[in-house]
Every structure is written in C-alpha cells, then in structure tokens.
Amino acid sequence: MGKINYGRVILGGVVGGIVGATLDLFINGGLLGQLWLDTARELNRPNAFSTTSVAVPVGLFLLFTVGAVLMIWLYAAVRPRLGGGVRTAVYVGLVAWTLVKLLPNTFWVLAGIFDSRIMFYDTLAGIVEISAATIVGAALYKEAESTIAAPTTAAARQTTR
C-alpha cells in the first residue's frame, strides 16, 4: 500500500474546489438565483444576496477548496481498499454530499427555516456539484512513489546480491 501523496491531494482539492464552486455559482446563482432571492425575502433578509463584494465568491471558493481537499484526502485513503477510479470517487462524493447537503438541508426543512422546494433543488444540485468536484479532483490524484523495502531475512538478502 503506497503512501498518500499530499501534493496531489492539494492539487486535486484545489482543482475540484474550482469545479465545485463554479458549478455552485452557475446552479445556485444562475438557475436558482430568483428562488434564493425569494427565499431571502421570505426570511426578512432581502439584502442577503445583493452584495457586490468580492467576499462571497472568494469565501465560496475557499469553502469549496477546503471541502474538496478533504474529499480527495478521503479518496486517497479509501483507494487501496475500493480501488481507484470514477466509481470510488463517486462513493466518496456521495458520502460528502450526505454530510454537507442531504442531512443539513433535511434539518433546515424540518426546522421550518427553509422552504422544502429550495432545499430539494439545492440538495439535487449538490449531487452534481460534489460528484463532479470529486471525480475531477480524484482524476488528478496519483499515489506517492513507494520505496522498495529492504529484504528482511538473510535468505532474501542473499538472493538480491
């Protein structure tokens, strides 16, 4: 079993974070933008998304990058057991989606804070965003080069001479 290549974890996480944040901006900012504005007005927060500050997209990128680095680290950790590739990346993405979208959004609906319609759309969008980010980030991951272990027995040492 090879060691985790942390340089590749960070690379995959940064690229995956860019993919996830871009998809999130397109889906939640573009396709669902009006629904989010209506929801903010219903919550008596009419100026919630009206900021022209660069803080929102930068903060979004940082959050997605940290999340994607953690997803690629998890992918690297389970890769020896489940094998590398898209299937394992999707499994990791589904675990992340469950933890960061499905469970919290279900709570927001049950608590009566957000309307079930916007949370349903956001939860579905999360499958796309998180799976794509994990697949792209995992595609960039490669195991660290392992060093050849020294022979452990005298007979093994004799055969290597």
pLDDT in tens, 98-117: 999 999 999 999 999 999 99
Residue 64 pLDDT: 95
Residue 149 pLDDT: 47
Residue 147 pLDDT: 44
Report how many helices (DSSP H) and strands (DSSP E) the chain contains, helices first.
7, 0
Residue 45 pLDDT: 81
Q: How confident is the model at residue 50 (pLDDT cuts 50, 70, 90)?
A: low
Residue 60 pLDDT: 87
| Rounded-to-integer distance, Cα 116 and Cα 108, Å | 8
Return the structure tokens found at 67.
Answer: 């999340």
Q: Whole-prediction pTM value?
A: 0.82
Q: Is 50 exceeded by the pLDDT of residue 150?
A: no
Q: 1, 80 in Cβ contact below 8 A?
A: yes
| Rounded-to-integer distance, Cα 94 and Cα 88, Å | 10
Round the average pLDDT of the chain to a whole number and report it: 88
Which secondary-structure segment (H or E) carries 159? Answer: helix 154-159
| Phi, psi angles (nearest 5°) of residue 51 | -70, 140
| Rounded-to-integer distance, Cα 68 and Cα 135, Å | 10
Q: Is 90 exceeded by the pLDDT of residue 2?
A: no
